[in-house]
Amino acid sequence: MHVLRRLVCGMCLRLNKHAGCVQTFSTSSSRPQSVMQAWVIDKYGDNSVLRFTRNAAFPVIHYPNEVTIRVHAAGLNPLDVNMRGGYGAATLAMKRDPLNMNKAGSEFPLILGRDVSGVVMECGLDVGYFKPGDEVWAAIPPWKQGSLAEFVVLSANEVSHKPKSLSHTDAVSLPYVAATTWSALVNTGGLNKDNCSKKRVLILGGSGGVGTFAIQLLKVWGAHVTVTCSKNAEQLVRGLGVDDVVDYTSGPVERKLRDLDKFDLVLDNIGGETEKWALTLLKPWSGAKYVTLVTPFLHNTDQLGLADGMMQTAVTVATKALKHLTKGVHYRWGFFAPSGSALDNVTEIVDTGKIRPVVEETFSFSQVPQAMQKVERGHARGKTVVTVAEEQDERP
Ligand SMILES: NC(=O)c1ccc[n+]([C@@H]2O[C@H](COP(=O)([O-])OP(=O)(O)OC[C@H]3O[C@@H](n4cnc5c(N)ncnc54)[C@H](OP(=O)(O)O)[C@@H]3O)[C@@H](O)[C@H]2O)c1
């Protein structure tokens, strides 16, 4: 799919097909856009910093490989709640403004929302893989303006054609957790569709956004999957195909896990104390890996500044990796990575019906603060999503 992506682009570029679009265009209201409706924050803080506006700056294509997407639905993740409170601000500011030209706070008004499902409205001159009218989905990098808005601009290589079998509201529950899972399992963990059939995988935290997607992907690839979750999430994860479920709320979970056969890979969505015992559950000296999604990287740079924070992070990960290597297991950090081509693969699988979205609750665009509160309360059972385009009349 990745190769096809590039071939198609090359062909269209040579033919100059799909290329060249107008600078302004009409939306459903038939007026040229210079502003749009969005939920923004003007400073970091609790939920009260969320502000609805009809006058957010309309996002403009700056590079020839970018596309403008009309947002139909947006998805929320724990990261949105954390970013609302200022998490990662130092590193994200550096990504947005590497030469440090802008004054502090130039990221505001900031738009949250990492998942988008919508329709391509406009394409930069180099974009051949998409054309206006295409239904697409994407996971939005945290340094870019998010999807709690009418429109978003992304690089075409971050975008993918959305599964035809899903509505926008269902589709939007997947991109961020799918891109993260793909990055953690494939790029960091070395798993793929051809090498999973005899693998035993443990997912710590199977009932949330990442867990419910990772279970399904691993089952499509033929792995044996064990998850930890609360007792009341057992039915959900069993319905997604899990082989073994361990309730972490009734006694020390590590003791129950030690009674099981050892694992080839542990995906840790929980962090904290887990890494003190989770690596002992791996098969030693067999290439087995522990991949955690809960890392101190952004916390370190927030607390210590960029240079010291990155140094501290490098020392921490290298020390831990070395310590565990001497015991015959691999210790790794996993990160979200924006990737249209990873989502292309997910689209194919979803359209076969083998992965389904797990939407716990859907909110209207006027209910974004309630949706954020829901995510902040935790105990997710799948995903929280927001409909954007279909609900214009209900906005505040
Ligand atoms: N590094 C990265 O780039 C990256 C990317 C994406 C996500 N993440 C991180 O990965 C983690 C998971 O993300 P997510 O989107 O799946 O979060 P989520 O949707 O909030 O799900 C977390 C799930 O874990 C369950 N849980 C809580 N404590 C548990 C425990 N001790 N054992 C087993 N299950 C437990 C929760 O339900 P109950 O509390 O009811 O049990 C909930 O279902 C988050 O910390 C997120 O910040 C990191």
pLDDT in tens, 242-291: 999 999 999 999 999 999 999 999 999 999 999 999 999 999 999 999 99
CA of 48 to the centre of ligand 1 (A): 24
Residue 32: per-residue pLDDT: 55
Query: 79-105 pLDDT, tens per residue?
Result: 999 999 999 998 999 899 888 888 888
The answer, yes or no, to whether any atom of ligand 1 lies below 6 A from the CB of 196, is no
The ligand 1 atom at the shortest distance from the C-alpha of residue 77 is 15
Q: Terminal CA-to-CA distance of the chain, rounded, Å?
A: 42
pLDDT at 394 exceeding the cut of 70? no
Ligand 1 pocket: which of 254, 270, 274 to mutate (most atoms within 8 A of CB): 270
CA gap 137, 71 in Å, rounded: 9
Query: Is-contact 264 201, C-beta < 8 A?
Result: yes
> Which position has the token pair 């209207």?
364
Q: Of all protein residues, whose CA lies closest to atom 7 belonging to ligand 1?
A: 293
Question: Strand 265-268 relative to strand 289-292: parallel, antiparallel, unpaired?
Answer: parallel
For residue 362, what are the contacts with CB-CB under 8 A and spacing of at least 6?
169, 384, 385, 386, 387
User: Global pTM?
Assistant: 0.92
Query: 110-119 pLDDT, tens per residue?
Result: 999 999 999 9
Query: Is-contact 60 54, C-beta < 8 A?
Result: no
The ligand 1 atom at the shortest distance from the C-alpha of residue 383 is 19
The ligand 1 atom at the shortest distance from the C-alpha of residue 253 is 32
CA of 177 to the centre of ligand 1 (A): 11
CA of 66 to the centre of ligand 1 (A): 32
Band (pLDDT 50/70/90 cuts) for residue 390 is low
- Could you state, in order of their start, the residue ranges of all structural domains in the chain? 2-137+165-173+357-394, 177-333
Residue type, 85: G
Query: 309-368 pLDDT, tens per residue?
Result: 989 999 999 999 999 998 999 999 999 999 999 999 999 999 999 999 999 999 999 999
Architecture of domain 177-333: 3-Layer(aba) Sandwich (3.40)
Query: Is-contact 151 70, C-beta < 8 A?
Result: yes
High-pLDDT (> 70) share of the chain, %: 90
The ligand 1 atom at the shortest distance from the C-alpha of residue 230 is 41
C-alpha separations of 154 from 128, 158, 179, 218 in Å: 14, 7, 15, 29
Q: Of all protein residues, whose CA lies closest to atom 39 belonging to ligand 1?
A: 379
The ligand 1 atom at the shortest distance from the C-alpha of residue 375 is 20
Assign domain 2-137+165-173+357-394 one CATH number from 3.90.180.10, 3.40.640.10, 3.30.450.20, 1.10.10.10.
Answer: 3.90.180.10
Query: Is-contact 137 172, C-beta < 8 A?
Result: yes
Instruction: Give the mean pLDDT of 47-74.
Output: 97
For residue 230, what are the contacts with CB-CB under 8 A and spacing of at least 6?
207, 247, 248, 249, 379
CA of 24 to the centre of ligand 1 (A): 41
Average pLDDT, rounded, for the chain: 90
The answer, yes or no, to whether any atom of ligand 1 lies below 6 A from the CB of 270, is yes
Residue type, 106: S
Query: Is-contact 157 113, C-beta < 8 A?
Result: no
> Which position has the token pair 């921490």?
316
